[in-house]
């Protein structure tokens, strides 16, 4: 086998499978589940808990399955007035663009393997951030096509709102990162993460806090999330641009919103929170102390799992309360798993690793680095994905004029000022740290 | 004329981020509390899982009507029309006939309550001089697909059984509640 010929394929496939699996197969259902359960818990409700498979309801996660089945078997309506070609094309465009953005996000330090560097990034572009802006501004097309081709006034109004909002906030979005672009001196996302270093004090959020807030706000507007979800304003537009869509075409819009959010969260963590950098642990440091760090990870993970088991035992032992859920079988199902996992991790961390001669396994430090960095990246992305949901259930919606006012009158000037502020501050701060 | 002054926003409120952070903390508090409660099955979310967890009725609950029988099985009702007169929803229709028993003047040959009209006010129970109509049957939630399902005739009303089982506030129920058993 000629490795050189296969290499581009491997270089593409490995990060692609990971990213696709993480965003679409893992985060997407989690986000939809969290949207329901977190909103329920924030509002002191119980949230979804009816759908089940043989009595196992997984705290409402089975509702996702029910959703998919429902959306697949529902009738696919197409309004008479719709422009059929574009009507069918729009959801695919929106979904494609949402997924495309994740191509440039790095999720780990490039690993040396078979004498080559495997970039943990689907497309190691040196214009990474520009690519993200270019692609994300395309998503307006999908939305306006959907709204216009539906042949419905409400959809069209929603699409117009969406496009004007997204275009306005794109300006602020672009401006807010210029400061840190100057500070890092690169547009390559992988380089930017490396430039931020493992010390949280040199991360983008410290160098450019205003830029971070502006970027976060603009991201909310870009993904049409809650304080800015005017394109869907139920009370005035019924459902906005996807009003006429049903069945799986609607599902595509629905999912693309969440994919957008997850990718947005990944971009935020990459630009401002050091991407895959593990706080305080640089790659070299992890490699040197891989055994120690790995057993530390295992021990803390095992301890957490054992704590969870204790609470599960408590839940099983405890009598049902009037407000408790009489149909909960999950603790009994999960208890063996958490117990086994916890004991196994503790055994690995305390028993196996300390007695191991690490020098014999040259791949061991690489795996630890990979594990830690991917975990760090996923954790950051998860947090910001959760943040999107958290904010949605906290803030009320803006009026449309307020959205425009905020975008043009406050965020734009602030974004311009932020360029200079960040530049000056980053210089002074980094100089002072050294 | 009263002019209510609009409170001016302070600088902190105008900057907005501080207030957002405060709001986020409030919602996160609820989330954390309820997550904790869900893990330990506490009573943080006071929702009843209704069909699986039937709620105990309060003692003064008004359930569907029933007509009480005499020991010999005839209706206790003397067709005095008190309940029909008291009914604000005009839900009761009675047709009377002379009773064969001389001690009792009249008896109903037809006693119809239209439960679709009834507003469950309980005035009929209050009005009845014979304690013949009561609102303590087993049925609290009536379902039907046709209009006739809700028309309660004399026979149907006589068939309704009184509700057995504890009410909220009963002594043993309260003891269980205090012990955290329900
Ligand atoms: S409960 Fe009220 S409305 Fe219903 S039948 Fe009796 S008096 Fe009429
Ligand atoms: S008030 Fe009582 S006794 Fe009189 S008609 Fe009504 S149910 Fe019968």
Give the model's pLDDT for residue B96: 92
Could A394 and B23 be called an inter-chain contact, meaning their C-beta atoms sit closer than 8 Å? yes
Helix (H) or strand (E) holding B113: strand B106-114
Give the model's pLDDT for residue A324: 47
Give the model's pLDDT for residue A322: 44
Average pLDDT over residues A301-320: 80
Q: What is the DSSP string of A379-418?
A: HHHHHHHHHHHHHHTTSPPPPHHHHHHIIIIIIHHHHHHH
**Could you tell me if A417 and A253 are in contact, meaning their C-beta atoms sit under 8 angstroms apart?**
no
Residue A318 has pLDDT above 70, yes or no: no
How many angstroms separate the CA of residue B145 from the nearest CA in chain A?
25
Supply B96's token pair.
């009377």
**Could you tell me if A225 and A39 are in contact, meaning their C-beta atoms sit under 8 angstroms apart?**
no
Give the model's pLDDT for residue B182: 55
Q: Whose CA is nearest to atom 3 of ligand 1?
A: B118
Residue A241 has pLDDT above 50, yes or no: yes
Share of chain A above pLDDT 70, in %: 96
Q: Which residue has the tokens 């409660």?
A: B37
How many angstroms separate the CA of residue B49 from the nearest CA in chain A?
7
Give the model's pLDDT for residue B94: 93
Q: CB of B127 closer than 6 A to ligand 2?
A: yes
Could you tell me if the ipTM is greater than 0.90? Answer: no
Q: CB of B80 closer than 6 A to ligand 2?
A: yes
Per-residue pLDDT tens listing for chain B (182 residues)? 889 988 888 888 777 888 889 999 999 998 888 887 776 655 677 777 677 666 778 878 899 999 999 888 889 999 999 999 999 999 999 999 998 888 888 999 999 999 999 999 999 999 999 899 999 888 888 888 999 999 999 999 998 888 887 777 667 666 766 665 55
Distance CA B140, CA B62 (A): 8
Residues constituting chain B: 182
What's the first-to-final CA gap in chain B, in angstroms?
55
Could B27 and A42 be called an inter-chain contact, meaning their C-beta atoms sit closer than 8 Å? yes
Q: Whose CA is nearest to atom 2 of ligand 2?
A: B128
Q: Which residue has the higher pLDDT, A116 or A216?
A: A216
Out of B65, B84, B87, mutate this one to test ligand 1's pocket (max ligand atoms within 8 Å of CB): namely B87
Ligand 1 nearest-atom number relative to CA B83:
7
Could B40 and A318 be called an inter-chain contact, meaning their C-beta atoms sit closer than 8 Å? yes
Using the Cβ of A213 and the Cβ atoms of chain B, whether some distance falls under 8 Å is answered with yes
Partners of B98 in the beta sheet? Answer: B106
Q: Identify the closest residue of chain A to B50 by CA–CA distance.
A: A323
**DSSP-based three-state secondary structure for A19:** helix
Ligand 1, CB within 6 Å, residue ranges = B 86-89, 91-92, 113, 118-124
Residue A18, classified by CB atoms within 10 Å of its CB into exposed (0-12), middle (13-18) or buried (19+), is: middle
**Tens-place pLDDT, residues A355-400:** 777 777 777 888 888 888 888 899 999 999 999 999 888 888 888 8
Q: Give the number of beta-carbon pairs within 8 Å between A and B.
A: 77
Average pLDDT, chain A: 83
The set of long-range contacts for A400-409, using a CB threshold of 8 Å and a minimum separation of 24, is: A400/A161, A400/A230, A403/A165, A403/A168, A403/A221, A403/A228, A403/A230, A404/A164, A404/A165, A404/A168, A406/A217, A407/A165, A407/A168, A407/A169, A407/A171, A407/A172, A407/A221, A408/A168
Helix (H) or strand (E) holding B110: strand B106-114
**Tens-place pLDDT, residues A82-127:** 888 888 888 888 888 888 888 888 888 887 777 777 888 888 888 8
Residue extents of the structural domains in chain B? 13-53, 66-163
Distance CA A196, CA A208 (A): 12
Region B66-163: CATH code: 3.30.70.3270
**Could you tell me if A179 and A260 are in contact, meaning their C-beta atoms sit under 8 angstroms apart?**
no
How many angstroms separate the CA of residue A44 from the nearest CA in chain B?
6
Q: Which residue has the higher pLDDT, B38 or A228?
A: A228
Q: What is the DSSP string of A349-369?
A: IIIIGGGS-GGG-THHHHHHH
Q: Whose CA is nearest to atom 3 of ligand 2?
A: B77
Residue A305 has pLDDT above 50, yes or no: yes
**Could you tell me if A207 and A426 are in contact, meaning their C-beta atoms sit under 8 angstroms apart?**
yes
How many CB atoms lie under 10 A from the CB of residue B95? 11
Q: For A26, which DSSP code?
A: I
Lowest mean pLDDT of A60-64, A115-119, A181-185, A428-432, name the range.
A115-119
């Amino acid at each position: 086998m000629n490795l050189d010929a296969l290499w581009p394929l491997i270089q593409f496939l490995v990060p692609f499978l990971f990213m696709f699996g993480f965003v679409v197969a893992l985060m997407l259902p989690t986000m939809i589940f969290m949207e329901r359960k977190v909103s329920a818990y924030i509002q002191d409700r119980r949230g979804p808990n009816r759908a089940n498979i043989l009595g196992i309801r997984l705290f409402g996660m089975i509702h996702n399955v029910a959703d998919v089945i429902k959306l697949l078997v529902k009738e696919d309506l197409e309004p008479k007035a719709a422009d059929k070609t574009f009507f069918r094309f729009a959801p695919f465009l929106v979904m494609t663009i949402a997924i495309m953005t994740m191509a440039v996000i790095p999720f780990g330090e490039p690993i040396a393997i078979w004498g080559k560097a495997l970039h943990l990034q689907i497309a190691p572009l040196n214009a990474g951030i520009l690519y993200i802006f270019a692609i994300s501004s395309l998503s307006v097309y999908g939305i306006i096509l959907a709204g216009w081709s539906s042949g419905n006034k409400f959809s069209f109004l929603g699409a117009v709102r969406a496009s004007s909002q997204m275009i306005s906030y794109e300006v602020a979005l672009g401006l807010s990162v210029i400061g840190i672009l100057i500070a890092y001196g690169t547009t390559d996302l992988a380089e930017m993460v490396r430039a931020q270093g493992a010390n949280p004090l040199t991360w983008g959020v410290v160098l450019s806090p205003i830029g971070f807030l502006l970027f976060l706000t603009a991201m909310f507007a870009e993904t049409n999330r809650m304080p800015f979800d005017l394109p869907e304003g139920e009370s005035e537009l019924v459902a906005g641009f996807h009003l006429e869509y049903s069945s799986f075409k609607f599902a595509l819009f629905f999912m693309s919103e969440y994919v957008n959010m997850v990718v947005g969260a990944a971009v935020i963590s990459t630009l401002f929170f050091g991407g895959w950098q593990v706080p305080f642990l640089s790659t070299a440091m992890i490699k040197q102390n891989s055994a120690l760090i790995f057993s530390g990870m295992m021990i803390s993970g095992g301890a957490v799992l054992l704590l969870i088991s204790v609470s599960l035992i408590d839940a099983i032992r405890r009598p049902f309360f009037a407000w408790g859920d009489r149909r909960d079988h999950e603790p009994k199902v999960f208890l063996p798993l958490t117990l086994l996992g916890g004991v196994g991790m503790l055994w690995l961390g305390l028993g196996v690793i300390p007695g191991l001669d690490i020098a014999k396994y040259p791949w061991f430090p690489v795996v630890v680095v990979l594990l830690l960095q991917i975990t760090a990246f996923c954790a950051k992305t998860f947090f910001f994905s959760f943040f999107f949901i958290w904010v949605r259930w906290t803030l009320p919606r803006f009026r449309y004029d307020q959205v425009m006012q905020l975008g043009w009158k406050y965020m734009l000037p602030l974004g311009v000022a932020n360029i200079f502020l960040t530049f000056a501050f980053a210089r002074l701060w980094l100089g002072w740290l050294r | 004329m009263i002019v209510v002054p609009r409170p001016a926003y302070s600088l902190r409120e105008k900057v907005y981020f501080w207030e957002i952070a405060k709001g986020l903390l409030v919602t996160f508090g609820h989330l954390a509390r309820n997550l904790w409660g869900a893990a330990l099955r506490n009573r943080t979310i006071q929702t009843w899982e209704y069909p699986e967890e039937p709620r105990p009725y309060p003692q003064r609950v008004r359930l569907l009507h029933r007509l009480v029988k005499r020991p010999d099985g005839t209706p206790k009702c003397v067709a005095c029309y008190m309940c029909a007169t008291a009914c604000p929803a005009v839900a009761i229709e009675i047709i009377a006939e002379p009773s064969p028993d001389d001690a009792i003047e009249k008896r109903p040959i037809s006693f119809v309550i239209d439960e679709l009209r009834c507003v469950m006010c309980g005035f009929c129970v209050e009005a009845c001089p014979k304690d013949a109509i009561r609102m303590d049957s087993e049925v609290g939630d009536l379902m039907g697909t046709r209009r006739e399902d809700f028309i309660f005739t004399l026979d149907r009303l006589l068939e309704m059984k009184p509700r057995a089982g504890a009410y909220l506030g009963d002594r043993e129920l309260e003891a269980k509640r205090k012990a955290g058993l329900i």
